[in-house]
Every structure is written in C-alpha cells, then in structure tokens.
C-alpha cells in the first residue's frame, strides 16, 4: 500500500457515457499526476497539479477529458462521451519531495 | 511521447539467475528511476539514480547510469519467482515537471 487511493478500481461503461475517477494522494505531497497506460505499454503522462493548480496538460488530454483538484487535496478525472479508445488503466500518483512517484492501484476503464 | 526505450521487451530466466534490463533515453536528465509493476496493479518505485551518480545499490538491485551514452541498466541478482513483473525506467527530464516512462521489460522468473 503506497498510501495513494484510487476509486473505482474497475469501471465498465457503454460508449458515449461519462465516467469519473477519483484519486486521494498522500496528504503531504503537493504534486499529483495522472497517467494513462494501455496493455503492454508504459504509463503516458496526462496532466499534473501543484496543489489546486493544473500546471500542465498533455496533448493526449482531449476536450472530453477534464481533471480537477479542488482545495489541493483529492483529484478527479472525468471523461465525457467515452469512446472505445479510452479503454485503459488510469493511474494517479503523488510526488515526494525527493522526486519519486507514489502510484495508486489504478482505475481500469473498459468502454463497450 | 515516451523517451525511454527498454531492452529487452521480455526476459525469461530461471530462479536464482541474474536479470539485466537496459534503458536508453534521449535528453538531459536530473535523475533516472526504475519502477516495478505486477500485473493489473500500480507501479512501485524501486530506485533512483541522480545524473551525477554512476552506480547505486539497493538490496538485490544494482543500477548503473552512463550519461554520456544516455543509458541505464538494472540488475536483479539471485532472482526469485516473486520478481516476476514488468519493470519500467522513468526519466526526470531537465526542464520538465514530469517523469517520462519507457515501454517496460516483462520479466518472468521460472521456478
């Protein structure tokens, strides 16, 4: 247990539906990251927050994706109008001051 | 985009043997890190080596870094069945605020 919690662990949805994932990072870590990982690939950066400010977004993050971190604590990642290509593992991580990432167990999305 | 390229993509060895994985990258880095991922789980940090370090040890792990060749290697000695997992290198790129991961090496330890 790394101390980073993600919910839900698994989500199956139909194409066109909206889904939301939640991440609770380690409380003393100011930076929170979202990555996406498809089968057999390494994690790909999506976005990160410094406290409540979203400081960088990848081009992978289309207009259908939105992430928030209100009050600089937990974070949510919402995908609107899901497509089959959105099927992946969505990983959240918080950054220690010494630059190591602590990952949650991930939220696996399957879009039918 | 993924900066790191790992070699081999898959490795299968007998328990007790040593496993070596390699990572190459393209740009200047602050540090390089190795992570482990069991199937269907999140990644777990193993070891970090800074750009001014050449070798680092942690238990059965040995990491080397050659910044002139932009490459790193991870050696797992006396492998165990429980070491079966995917291993990823991640670069902390200078001027960037995120870790960039490679595609990973799938390691299988046969009992």
Q: What is the pLDDT of residues A41-92, one digit of tens each?
A: 999 999 999 999 999 999 988 999 999 999 889 999 999 999 999 999 999 9
Range with lowest mean pLDDT among A66-70, A96-100, B101-105: A96-100
The pLDDT value recorded for residue B110 is: 95
Question: Hey, which residues does B12 pair with through a beta bridge?
Answer: B108
Average pLDDT score, chain A? 95
Average pLDDT score, chain B? 94
Q: What is the pLDDT of residues B24-37, one digit of tens each?
A: 999 999 999 999 99
**Quick one: DSSP state of residue A85?**
G
Distance CA(A37)–CA(B20), nearest Å, equals 24
Nearest residue in chain B measured CA to CA from A100: B45
- Phi-psi map region of A100: left, alpha, beta (phi>0 left; psi -120 to 50 alpha): beta
- Phi-psi map region of B40: left, alpha, beta (phi>0 left; psi -120 to 50 alpha): left
Angle at the Cα of B35 from the Cα atoms of B96 and A38, rounded to 5 degrees: 80
At CB < 8 Å, which residues of chain A contact B? 2, 4, 6, 31, 33, 35, 40-45, 48, 55-56, 91, 93, 98-106, 108
A45 to B98: CB separation less than 8 angstroms, yes or no? yes
> What is the C-alpha radius of gyration for chain A, rounded to an integer number of angstroms?
13
A66–chain B nearest CA distance, Å = 19
Nearest residue in chain B measured CA to CA from A98: B48
């Amino acid at each position: 247990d790394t101390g980073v919690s993600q919910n839900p662990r698994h989500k199956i949805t139909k194409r066109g539906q909206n889904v939301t994932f939640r991440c609770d990072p380690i409380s003393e870590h100011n930076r929170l990251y979202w990555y996406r990982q498809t089968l057999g690939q390494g994690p790909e950066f999506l976005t990160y927050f410094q406290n409540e400010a979203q400081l960088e977004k990848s081009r992978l993050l289309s207009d259908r994706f939105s992430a928030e971190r209100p009050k600089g604590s937990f974070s949510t990642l919402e995908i609107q109008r899901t497509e089959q290509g959105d099927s992946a593992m969505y990983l959240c991580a918080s950054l220690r001051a010494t630059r190591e990432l602590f990952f949650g167990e991930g939220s696996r999305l399957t879009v039918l | 985009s993924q900066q790191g390229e790992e070699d081999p993509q898959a490795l299968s060895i007998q328990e007790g043997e040593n496993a070596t994985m390699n990572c190459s990258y393209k740009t200047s880095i602050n540090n390089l890190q190795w992570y482990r991922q069991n199937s269907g789980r999140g990644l777990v940090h193993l070891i970090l080596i800074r750009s001014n370090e050449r070798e680092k040890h942690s238990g059965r792990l040995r990491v080397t870094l050659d910044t002139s060749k932009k490459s790193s290697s991870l050696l797992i000695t006396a492998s165990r069945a429980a070491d079966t997992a995917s291993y990823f290198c991640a670069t902390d790129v200078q001027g960037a605020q995120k870790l960039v991961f490679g595609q990973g090496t799938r390691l299988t330890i046969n009992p």
